[in-house]
Amino acid sequence: MNRRDFLSFAGSAIALSVIPMNLSADDYRKLKPDVWTAHNIDDATKALYGMKTPILSDQIKIEVPKINSSGASVPVKFSTSIEAKTIALFQDANPESAVAVFESNKYDLQKYEVKIKMEKDGVIMVLVEGTDGKIYMAKATTQVAAGGCEG
């Protein structure tokens, strides 16, 4: 192979490696709109996962401050070692309970950090839909200092 052919081949290989392959993500706001209008965690989880009963799991970790100086930006870290199809975050301090749904696969790190708004003290729940079809959960509570969303 001469130098020009090699450079042409190498350039084509690089270009192909940059093209994204079949990427997809479900739009849960369109697929399951009742999740996003549910006013409590139970209704939101039923709208997302059906009538499956979640199993409390120590394989899901949630880190949230016990007391937040402002409900405008509450830091939430969560992770799981469960092989997951989806990971969902809920809270019960705002009128709508659903915060986010993440699709996952066996190659994901499954560690997340988000900041959410909370109007008052409340419960934060993470649900993991395992590849085994079961739903796993963990909960944490947090308080918002007097004055609520002052930030």
CATH number at residue 46: 2.60.40.2470
Please write the tens of the pLDDT for every residue from 66-89. 999 889 999 999 999 999 999 999
For residue 96, give the nearest of 30, 47, 147 by alpha carbon: 47
Mean pLDDT, rounded, of the chain: 84
What pLDDT, on the 0 to 100 scale, is given for residue 47? 94
Q: Is residue 50 part of a domain?
A: yes
In a domain, 13, yes or no: no
3-state secondary structure of 37: helix
The pLDDT tens digits of the residues spanning 52-65 come to: 999 999 999 999 99
Res. 139: pLDDT tops 60: yes
Domain that includes residue 81, residue range: 26-144
| Residue 29 · residue 98 · CB < 8 Å | no
Give the Cα separation of 37 and 97 in Å (integer).
8
The reported pLDDT for the residue numbered 70 is: 87
pLDDT band of 106, cuts 50, 70, 90: confident
What does the alpha-carbon distance between residue 83 and residue 96 come to, in Å, rounded to a whole number? 28
In a domain, 151, yes or no: no
Residue 19 lies in a domain: no
Does the model's pTM come out above 0.85?
no
pLDDT of residue 16: 43
Residue 10 has pLDDT above 70, yes or no: no
Is 4 among the domain residues?
no
Residue 3 lies in a domain: no
The backbone torsions φ and ψ at residue 34, rounded to the nearest 5 degrees and listed phi first, read -65, -20
How many domains is the chain built from?
Answer: 1
DSSP state of 142: E
What is the C-alpha separation between 51 and 72, in angstroms, rounded? 32
pLDDT at position 25 is 59
Q: Which two tokens stand for residue 151?
A: 């930030």
Could you tell me the pLDDT band of residue 33, with boundaries at 50, 70 and 90? confident
- Of residues 150 and 42, more confidence is placed in 42
Predicted pLDDT of residue 82:
95
pLDDT at position 105 is: 86
112 domain residue, yes or no: yes
Structure confidence at residue 108 (pLDDT): 84
Query: What does the pLDDT average to over 33-50?
Result: 92
Residue 46 is assigned to a structural domain of this protein: yes
CA–CA separation, 86 vs 84, rounded Å? 6
